[in-house]
Structure 1
């Protein structure tokens, strides 16, 4: 049982989300960004994702944001319309407390409700904790791109992991993408 809730993000969460992301940009390789987003840029990202009716979630305890997750289209070409990419970041003080698992579980449910059939995790640096979380949630490795990023003076791989959502490829969607 968790002592936090997972809910839809709102623009008021932008400062906390930007702070969490900034920590990961400055200290980790999960993101290949080298400069954090501003609060204003984060507000725009939240509005854009929610405006498309895709999930953007936060984990919250007592008004404090512990982590966040969102799903976006994997690629912008129509044939990818049923495939999404996830992003999950947990506040450094709350890693290992089930926040990431709760966010990913809820994100997968919401993405399925949006009509996505596949979810892709693009794991920068092949981060072991992220790979373990995704494996725990049923993702399997679907590819690795060697040395495609450079950060902190080292070459970094990107690992692709994939999970089927809902019916996956067992049935055809009602409508093909336009």
Structure 2
């Protein structure tokens, strides 16, 4: 079941986020977050009117989450968003990311969003393939623009034109 996140989801979202920080190059942060940090983030998403979806597993636990928000701060970019999608480590590869992305894309199409942007670590072929299956096109790669785990990382951008 996919639904809008609420403050009760802060702990599960923090757990998923922190696992990605500690073990993957999906999030280029070195520091984990607190449950309060995620609660504040959820509240901010709600206040600002940005969608934040969670997907529950059969037991009702949060198995993943997805959201989008401003791509860049200037007015001319107001119809472009950048999204994030993360799946709990034991639930990866089961279609949860795809389902959450489909919900995000559907929501964006109901608004005045024209383009959705994905910034993905260039070595994350599974995520890149998922995005391409959903209609995203590769827009280019920036080389060695980030670092994590003692190595330089490349960032591949993909775009989905929602007006097509």
What band does the TM-score fall into relative to the shorter chain?
Answer: over 0.9
Alignment match, 1:164: 161
Distance 1:126 1:46 in 2: 29
Structure 2: runs of 5 or more not aligned:
none
2:35 maps to which residue?
A: 39
CA distance, structure 2, for counterparts of residue 155 and residue 90 of structure 1: 24
User: Normalising by the residue count of structure 1, what TM-score does the alignment of the two structures yield?
Assistant: 0.88
Alpha-carbon distance in 1 for matches of 2:111, 2:40: 21
Runs of 4+ in 1 over 3 A off after TM superposition: none
Corresponding position of 2:108: 111
Q: Which of 129, 134, 137 is the equivalent residue of 2:131?
A: 134
SS of 1:37's partner is coil
Q: Which residue of 2 aligns with 1:175?
A: none
Cα distance in 1 for partners of 2:122, 2:47 equals 30
Gaps of 5+ in 1: 169-178
C-alpha distance in 1 between matches for 2:123 and 2:156: 5
Determine the structure 2 residue equivalent to 1:57.
Answer: 53
Cα distance in 2, alignment partners of residues 32 and 157 from structure 1:
11
Q: Secondary structure at the match of 1:12?
A: helix
Aligned length: 163
CA RMSD after TM alignment: 1.1
Of 75, 81, 86, the match for 1:84: 81
Question: Aligned partners of 1:39 and 1:14: how far apart in 2?
Answer: 6
1:12 equivalenced with 2:20 (yes/no): no
Aligned residue in 2 for 1:24:
20
Q: Please name the residue that 1:153 is paired with.
A: 150
